[in-house]
Chains A and B, each alone.
Chain A
Amino acid sequence: MSQEYLERTIIRILRVVGLTFFIIIVAFPFYWMIVSSFKSLGEILLKPANLGLDIRKIDFHAYYEVLFEHGFLQYISNSVYVSIVTVILSVTLATVGGYAVTRLRFRGRELMSYSILLIYMFPAIVLVIPLYVMFSRMGLRDSINLLILVYLAQTLPVALYMLRSYFQTLPPEMEHAGLIDGCSRLGVIWRIVIPLSAPALASVALYTFMIAWNEFLFAFMFLDTPEKFTLSRGVVQLAESVHLSKQLVMAASVMVTIPILVLFLFFERRLVRGLTAGAMKG
């Protein structure tokens, strides 16, 4: 038996063992989240070691309770509103700004491109206290729209950077033709650049949606009124108010997680491109 053959066999075994290990550690928490959300409180308390789910005992009560008694219907609509408005604003402003940085000549363009990257490194925990102080003083803190502006500031630099990298790969000749034919710059962006950039715009939109949907710290610090809570904020509230009823917290967690995982499964490739191009902060 040759060295090569021996090593190949070892590698094959290691691969099977390794993949099994990773599949278990990655999938189990999600599996457990879903399974527990369909259990009753009694089941959770009496059989904590029961790994399976008895199909005949599937219990939707946790979802009912979380949605209608703990205000999650409202939190879902708040989260959808916050995320979608953030995406629309971020993609629009990043397209216009990214185009300017790529195609227009002005002083400080290079500096601009560098500082975009730098700004994206600023950690949220350094920004949150001064913003808290500032907006508490102005009496504006407890507001969903303010939260959208914060998310916009968090996502715009990366969105702009990602689009800039993409616009640089587009041939400028078509745009010149458009300009000569009498299009304005905005007309060129609308008629030529946007249609050509659909994949990049989709990546940016997904990335922005994910950041806004998942965000916890600012929502936690800024929002006081339960009617304004986003889902993440609502889950924390719920977890603080129930101690034993873990099925409720798990049902709420499923509700926050499913939309993002489903989006991700549909657009996996696109999102991976977004993640590696801009690199997500986290």
Chain B
Amino acid sequence: MKRREPTFLDQEARLAFWMLFPTFTVVLAFVIFPVIWNLWLSFKPVSLGDLRGISLFKFNLTLDNFRKVFGDQEFGPVLLTTLIYTIAGSALSMLLGLMAALLVHGEFPGRGLMRGLFISPYIAPVVAVTFTWSFILDPQLGVLNWFAVDKGLLAQPIPFLSQRWWDLDLLGVKVRMPLALTSVIVFEGWRYFPFAFLFILARLQAIPDALYQAASVDGAGPFRRFYHITLPQLSTVLSTLFLFRFIWTFNKFDDIFLLTRGQAGTKVLTIRVYDYAFGEFNIGASSAVAMVLFGVLSIFLIIYFRWIVKEE
């Protein structure tokens, strides 16, 4: 039988294959494969010392890693810390982003400069901003503490990033505040509000003026116009933003690691991944925690693609 001549479409498909081949290979090797490899490791007893041995490929699968991870006394508190950090951090960054967007929206001199300034926490390298904040908040050398002590606002410096609890006396009511965790959440709000700011600002500028004019004619003042027009118009972008911030904050490692190393009540799941691997030399348990993170991420991605993408 005669071989079929390659058609024009076949040629196009072959060309497309070669044009996408490098991208595909890199992503396969450095994203897809590690995820599968991680799944494999999470079912194996592997320690950091085993990396050179042959046992990495043996079929000695076990659930021990997951038993260890879920059975750990710390697991509950770490999960709780993670959730508090994620929800409060996402909410704070969005609230600040919304405020900043409302402030910059509208015409005034220096607006472009302001917009540029507001984005800088987000684009500056994470090591630089975490070390600068650690220095500012330092109890021995930090400007914030000593400035407040100098001006008589504080009796003594507060170790913002190294003390777990802070006992407050609010008008006779004693409150115990998780100090280091709060500091880390505030940092999260500071560093990531520009992300919300950019998206909310873009959405604000897309709201048609006619809506506001109509409301004005009907006698609605600026506050009512905000409540009845601006907020509803922003609802989609706000919910999408919250989902994205939630996912990324849940998986955030760098910031907490550089600020506190997970000490003083700031240990989140991502820090646990690192601690199991390099503190306890237990690669298996570390991979198991990573799988937990990955599972949670998958759930949120499904939610995202099911509801939000479909609605749009």
Tell which of A96-104, A167-175, A193-201 binds the partner.
Answer: A96-104
Q: State whether the Cβ of B82 lies closer than 8 Å to any Cβ in chain A.
A: no
> Given that A119-B27, A126-B290, A260-B125 are known contacts, is A97 also in contact with B273, CB under 8 Å in the complex?
no
A8 to B138 alpha-carbon distance, docked (Å):
41
Residue of A nearest to B276 (CB): A129
Asked whether, in the complex, the Cβ of A235 is within 8 Å of the Cβ of B35, the reply is no
Residue of A nearest to B102 (CB): A18
> Given that A44-B141, A123-B251 are known contacts, is A130 also in contact with B41, CB under 8 Å in the complex?
yes
Interface residues of A in 178-199 (CB under 8 A from B): 185
Asked whether, in the complex, the Cβ of A105 is within 8 Å of the Cβ of B114, the reply is no
Interface residues of B in 189-243 (CB under 8 A from A): 190, 192, 195, 198-199, 202, 221-223
Asked whether, in the complex, the Cβ of A106 is within 8 Å of the Cβ of B34, the reply is no
Q: State whether the Cβ of B4 lies closer than 8 Å to any Cβ in chain A.
A: no
Asked whether, in the complex, the Cβ of B287 is within 8 Å of the Cβ of A129, the reply is yes
User: Taking the nearest CB of chain A, how far is it from the CB of B5, in angstroms?
Assistant: 18
User: Taking the nearest CB of chain B, how far is it from the CB of A209, in angstroms?
Assistant: 11
Q: State whether the Cβ of B74 lies closer than 8 Å to any Cβ in chain A.
A: no
User: Taking the nearest CB of chain A, how far is it from the CB of B212, in angstroms?
Assistant: 13
User: Taking the nearest CB of chain B, how far is it from the CB of A70, in angstroms?
Assistant: 14
Instruction: Pick the contact of B23: A45, A156, A257 (CB < 8 A).
Output: A156
Residue of A nearest to B291 (CB): A126
Q: Mark B95-137, 1 if CB is under 8 A from A, else 0.
A: 0000110010000000010111111111111111101110110
Asked whether, in the complex, the Cβ of B251 is within 8 Å of the Cβ of A125, the reply is yes
Residues of B within 8 A of A106 (CB): 12-13, 16-17
Asked whether, in the complex, the Cβ of B125 is within 8 Å of the Cβ of A216, the reply is yes
A244 to B135 alpha-carbon distance, docked (Å):
10
Q: State whether the Cβ of A268 lies closer than 8 Å to any Cβ in chain B.
A: yes
Residue of B nearest to A150 (CB): B30
Residue of B nearest to A268 (CB): B116
Asked whether, in the complex, the Cβ of A264 is within 8 Å of the Cβ of B123, the reply is yes
Residues of B within 8 A of A176 (CB): none
User: Taking the nearest CB of chain B, how far is it from the CB of A53, in angstroms?
Assistant: 12
Interface residues of A in 95-123 (CB under 8 A from B): 96-97, 99-101, 104-107, 109, 112, 118-119, 121-123
> Given that A126-B35, A257-B124, A275-B198 are known contacts, is A29 also in contact with B132, CB under 8 Å in the complex?
yes
Among the interface residues A101, A119, A134, A264, which one has the most CB atoms of the partner chain B within 10 A? Answer: A134
User: Taking the nearest CB of chain A, how far is it from the CB of B208, in angstroms?
Assistant: 20
Asked whether, in the complex, the Cβ of B103 is within 8 Å of the Cβ of A15, the reply is yes
Residues of A within 8 A of B37 (CB): 130, 133-134
Q: Mark B21-44, 1 if CB is under 8 A from A, else 0.
A: 011001101111111011001000
Q: State whether the Cβ of B254 lies closer than 8 Å to any Cβ in chain A.
A: yes
Instruction: Pick the contact of A282: B33, B117, B248 (CB < 8 A).
Output: B248
Asked whether, in the complex, the Cβ of A49 is within 8 Å of the Cβ of B116, the reply is no
> Given that A25-B190, A106-B16, A253-B127 are known contacts, is A152 also in contact with B26, CB under 8 Å in the complex?
yes
A217 to B147 alpha-carbon distance, docked (Å):
34
Q: State whether the Cβ of A225 lies closer than 8 Å to any Cβ in chain B.
A: no
User: Taking the nearest CB of chain B, how far is it from the CB of A106, in angstroms?
Assistant: 4
User: Taking the nearest CB of chain B, how far is it from the CB of A242, in angstroms?
Assistant: 11
> Given that A32-B143, A129-B286 are known contacts, is A264 also in contact with B26, CB under 8 Å in the complex?
no
Residues of B within 8 A of A101 (CB): 16, 20
User: Taking the nearest CB of chain B, how far is it from the CB of A212, in angstroms?
Assistant: 11
Q: State whether the Cβ of B3 lies closer than 8 Å to any Cβ in chain A.
A: no
User: Taking the nearest CB of chain A, how far is it from the CB of B127, in angstroms?
Assistant: 5
User: Taking the nearest CB of chain A, how far is it from the CB of B204, in angstroms?
Assistant: 13
* Size range of the chain B interface in the assembly: 35 or more
Residues of A within 8 A of B112 (CB): 268
Residue of B nearest to A123 (CB): B251
- Specify the main secondary structure of chain B where it touches its partner: helix
User: Taking the nearest CB of chain B, how far is it from the CB of A174, in angstroms?
Assistant: 18
Q: State whether the Cβ of A204 lies closer than 8 Å to any Cβ in chain B.
A: no
Instruction: Pick the contact of A105: B13, B116, B253 (CB < 8 A).
Output: B13
Interface residues of A in 7-27 (CB under 8 A from B): 7-8, 11, 15, 18-19, 22-23, 25-27
Asked whether, in the complex, the Cβ of B141 is within 8 Å of the Cβ of A45, the reply is yes
Q: Mark A251-269, 1 if CB is under 8 A from B, else 0.
A: 0011011001100110010
Residues of A within 8 A of B223 (CB): 7
A282 to B273 alpha-carbon distance, docked (Å):
18
User: Taking the nearest CB of chain A, how far is it from the CB of B43, in angstroms?
Assistant: 13
Q: Mark A113-152, 1 if CB is under 8 A from B, else 0.
A: 0000011011111110111111011000000000001101
Chain B residues packing against A (C-beta within 8 Å):
9, 12-13, 15-17, 19-20, 22-23, 26-27, 29-35, 37-38, 41, 46, 51-52, 56, 99-100, 103, 112, 114-129, 131-133, 135-136, 138, 140-143, 145-147, 149-150, 190, 192, 195, 198-199, 202, 221-223, 244, 247-248, 251, 253-254, 258, 270, 273-274, 277, 283, 286-287, 290, 293-294, 297, 301
7 contacts between A and B (CB under 8 A): A49-B143, A137-B56, A157-B27, A216-B125, A236-B127, A250-B135, A282-B195
Chain A residues packing against B (C-beta within 8 Å):
3-4, 7-8, 11, 15, 18-19, 22-23, 25-30, 32-33, 36, 44-45, 48-49, 51, 93-94, 96-97, 99-101, 104-107, 109, 112, 118-119, 121-127, 129-134, 136-137, 149-150, 152-154, 156-157, 160, 185, 210, 213-214, 216-217, 231-232, 235-236, 239, 244, 246, 249-250, 253-254, 256-257, 260-261, 264-265, 268, 271-272, 275-276, 279-282
Interchain residue pairs A-B with the least CB separation, the first 3 = A153-B30, A123-B251, A253-B128
